[in-house]
Structure 1
Amino acid sequence: MKPRSLRWKLVMWAALFAFSASIICVWATWILLRHQELQALDRRLGTDAQELFRDIENFQGVNKRLEVTERFVPLALRDRLVEVRGRTGEILYMSPNLSAPVLNDGIEEFHTREIAGRPVRVGVFRDNELTLHVGADLKDIEQLGWEIARSQVVVIPVVLLLIAAGSWLLGSIALTPIERIRRAAERITAERLDERIPSQGPADEIGRLIDVLNATFERLQGSFEQAARFSADASHQLKTPIAVLRAGIDEVLDQDGMSPEQRDRVTDLLQQTRRLTSVAENLLLLSRADTGRLALRARSFELRKLLEGSVEDAHILGEKRNLSIEAKLPETLPITGDRDMISLILQNLVENAVKYNRPGGRILLSAAKSGEEVSICVGNSGPGIPADRAPHIFKRFYRARGDEQVPGHGLGLSIARELARAHSGDLTLTKSQDDWTEFCLRLGKPIPTPTLNLN
């Protein structure tokens, strides 16, 4: 699932907060309004009760309150539930809408109870010998609550849309400086470490963030150039003594009088100096790639001939292991690039395909062209690369299989990928099954890279 952008998260959180706040406000408003309506109803019931007692007093007098008829009931109480009781609790009057006396539940203060499945507000009033129980149906108040709820069904979505639109607008305004910082930071690469994020506007949080990032890039550039300079200088300094050492060992080998055992030892020393020379040259090449000083001599040439040479190399290298070499190449494969660098990539891939193959195994080299992009795949039989080590195989000095008996320094794939990227392409591990491993190389137009002088 694709992660949501910060702008979308801001909109969703604002909408969620607004929705929750709206529900809470509606609920609180309804509770307060209902309480006020009940208080108003209680006051009306009290007023109506006083009117009933006053009419009975006027028509019957103080000592003649034994007969109560509907003519004493005020018009406001005739739709209510009414019970009038005497001194001993006997029923003197019961409204026609009551089939049985149900209002007397022993509670003196105003309260709400359910009668015949409907909520009723009940009040008790006393006047000398008479007790009046009045019940008022709460359907009007409940209806008011439903009307408020129905109105909010329309209002809340409109409010949410307005808040979402406002949040999106405010988020866009607030995140615009962040987006500019992101685009500026993307332009800062290993080849352009001198780039900085432009600092404009007030010294607010965004301005301070830009200052911190620029200071970080400044330190990073210094550390990177120092490390690259050390790698380049070390490689240069090693080449001369290694060359002198190789020349001395060659002179020793040319001398007569050595025993076969001594000659073998000196030959081993010569082989080790060649490995040192290879490591120094590889480190120099990587340091140039890191600092953008990898200058490519791009020209058009026929890549098929270079691939045929790689197939011949594979035949020679795999002869002792009885390897089967197959090639699937197009008739022509023109390309523009640095022939020597592409040859070095193919050399690394072919050597790895031979080194990590099994006796009697197979190597397949195939190539194809699509538009201006050329793809080359080199596959070999043999043990696959463990899944937990596959993501690290392009790291420098990393040995995927950890086999010290197989010669190598763990730099070949890293160099090959850097050279592929310099040609607007890439090198990837496309398959690593139990008995088959395959790398695919993509090559495009070489990237023009300025030559930088770290000295």
Structure 2
Amino acid sequence: MIKNKFSKLSIKKQLTLWYSLIIFFVAVTLFSSFYLLTKQYLIYETDRSLAVHASQIAYSVALNTNDTHDTQTKDILNLSKTEIPGMFIEVVDTQGFDTNGKASNFKELSAQALKDNTHLYSQNKINGFTMRVVVYPITTPGIALGSVVMGHPIDVYEKTLAQLKIIGVVVMLYLIAPSILIGYFLAKSAVDPITKLSKDINKITSENLSRRISLPVGSEEVDLLINNFDSLLDRLGKAFSLERQFLGEMAHEIKTPLSVIKSNSEITLAKLRTADEYQKSINQTLCQIDKLSGTMVSLMDFAWSQSTDFSKAFMEINLSQLMLEINNVALYMAAPKNILVESNIEGNIFVLGKEEKLYQAIYNIIDNAVKFTPEKGKITLELYKKNSGAFISVADTGVGIEAEQQRNIFNRFYRTEQTKNIAGHGLGLAVADSIIKAHNGLIEVNSKKGSGSTFIITLTLLR
């Protein structure tokens, strides 16, 4: 529920909260680290000081006596207490008794220190005071005499640390408001360029696509966003231009047959005609209707290739058989221009797909080859397999395509300068490319102006 409410907040408010929390968390972390380091430092210094003094006493006892209960040991203790006021000091023998013969409260810790032959630390209540205690073993070569127990009051340290903790909590509470304020300004500086960008974008419509975002240089990300949006506007502008060009061409393609049909009908109806004249008029009308129908089919094919997911209807296709059928169609299409059609079709090549759509894609490429190949030219069809791919090649000796135009020929409505006077709508290759891509395939073109073109379709072999 909280997550849903948070997600409904504006980005500026979300960033303000995040920045505030981060700043507050950093402040808490820094203070906590300072507090813990201070505490550890005080303990470390206390332990170090205790260990130094305890080692000196242990050395003195071991040097001057072999008995922790004699007067020399007591003198050393009394002298040490005089030199280090406020400290708790006692010597414990190996049986756990102090110099007065009383059982020590540090009997077990002393035994452990002697066993491990190392000094140990603990924190204990002694005479009503909290003390940091070190137990230091007293040894001579081969002999354990006992241990020195030395304690230093740490109540003052604990009170100081408690006060420091209270101060830290108060400071943290006072930091809440500044954290929110700093978070707000950080969020504002991050979001303001986006807000200005949004306002500039709202001013751009289909009527002024040439307008560009004009904002001062900002962060790298905002500049990248502006550049990408300007690039998008460039692509949209080109798309709108192609759409307008296409609409003009389609209007012309539709208007011309309709005008011919209308004129022909008006002339025919102007007076009585002979049967031959009526037949001629009807044939002319049918010819224009066929042309108009072809235009509509091209439009529907392109719309279908852009919107229909036909991969669910894929079936096994004998591509070799399909290419033989297309070869016969190519011979028929090329005959009026006396174009030679040669083929080299390898047998038993199977792919997965939709047969009529693959037929349409290959047909569109061959149709282009026939259109743009001069009379008595040559078209070569090939089908072969290599590794895991099936390759279809359509090569012609036509007008060719300039290198800078080759990357655009699969765009819808695109037509090169040298082909604009040839009948067509600039949709054939776009439809073919969409169909082949839907079959997880690829179309490539190798061409040079004046030297013909070779289109190669790559599909995945089924077996």
TM-score (norm 2): 0.42
Structure with more helix by fraction: 2
TM-score (norm 1): 0.43
